[in-house]
Structure 1
Amino acid sequence: MSSIGINTGAIVKDAKTYAIDLTERVAATFVVATGGVLVTATAGNVGHLSFWESAAAGGVAAAGSLVKGILARAFGSKDSASLAKGV
């Protein structure tokens, strides 16, 4: 295989980087979306949000993602919205 110039080390590294980035994004989305619902809903109506409460939950989640991205630039790689180093 190496005679055709395939660098399997780079492929494995890219797959690992992708897996780390994807895992972080899924976890962060869960945290900020759950936080958005908990901030905008009262204990009695979590399953029965109004349209505006649902929109507010989405807004809180989006704001949380923005803050996470800003923090990632400050503490992670300058060219990535990931907190993981090297992503």
Structure 2
Amino acid sequence: MHEKRKHQRISCYSKCVVYYEQAKYYGVILNISLSGAAVRLYGMKSGGMKAGDRCSLILCADPAICFYRYAGTVARIGRSAIGLEFIDMAA
């Protein structure tokens, strides 16, 4: 099977926060690359979230420490994780 990704993914299992609409959702980054990440969110039902929606991601569980948000869009929604594509780094 041909790999469509432009950048190599790295498994990391680090805590994160995803900001979507007016809420923040805690989770863990399953893998990450220069252009996106796969994230498992805790306690979130993705009923309202859809591919193409804007969101942002911080790379730790404490927004007071890691304040930089990586802007992105929801690329896909799976049963156990969502895929995010970073907007500023998608080249």
TM-score (norm 1): 0.24
Q: Which of the two has greater strand per residue?
A: 2
Q: Which of the two has greater helix per residue?
A: 1
